[in-house]
């Protein structure tokens, strides 16, 4: 059994997997205080967060030095998206991050677009 050092990333045990369960990171919270979806862009503001933030908050903040999607931050942290959204919302609440919805250059409910997707799926079957 190998246990990674604290500086090696998430605490892992080869047999058991992650030693700190994901929802422990968010103190059991499952709902973010800010509306975020997978494609929402987050970026660090440069403001120093006040109060204690966990190591996952620091890792997320470090990842957001350039605009990045919520899904990408979750993948980098190796945490579920629900947990990542709570962490990012904490950072938005303390002024360390700013967020904006994804920019769509087309109407995602455009009938022609939806028909093209449907046609493509039918060709695959």
Give the whole-angstrom CA distance, residue 50 versus residue 95: 9
**Per-residue tokens: 20:** 């700190």
What is the tens place of the pLDDT at every residue in 68-84? 999 999 999 988 888 89
Q: Which of 79, 94, 92, 99 is nearest to 30 (CA)?
A: 79
42 within 8 A of 98, measured Cβ to Cβ: yes
Residue 76: CA count within 13 A, CB half-sphere: 15
pLDDT surpassing 60 at residue 36: yes
| pLDDT over 90, % of the chain | 29
**Per-residue tokens: 102:** 């994804």
pLDDT at 73: 94
What is the tens place of the pLDDT at every residue in 39-68? 889 999 998 887 778 888 899 999 999 999
Give the whole-angstrom CA distance, residue 81 versus residue 69: 11
Give the whole-angstrom CA distance, residue 70 versus residue 81: 8
As a whole number, the mean pLDDT across the chain is 79
80 within 8 A of 22, measured Cβ to Cβ: yes
pLDDT surpassing 90 at residue 120: no
pTM over 0.75: no
For 35, list phi and psi in degrees, rounded to 5: -70, 115
């Amino acid at each position: 059994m190998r246990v990674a050092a604290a500086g090696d990333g998430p605490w892992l045990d080869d047999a058991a997997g992650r030693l700190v369960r994901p929802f422990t990171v968010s103190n059991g919270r499952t709902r973010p205080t800010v509306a975020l979806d997978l494609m929402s862009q987050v970026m660090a503001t440069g403001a120093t967060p006040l109060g204690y933030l966990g190591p996952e908050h620091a890792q997320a903040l470090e990842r957001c030095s350039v605009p990045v999607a919520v899904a990408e931050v979750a993948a980098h942290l190796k945490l579920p998206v629900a947990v990542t959204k709570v962490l990012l919302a904490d950072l938005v609440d303390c002024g360390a991050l700013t967020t904006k919805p994804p920019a769509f250059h087309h109407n995602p409910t455009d009938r022609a677009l939806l028909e093209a997707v449907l046609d493509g799926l039918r060709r695959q079957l």
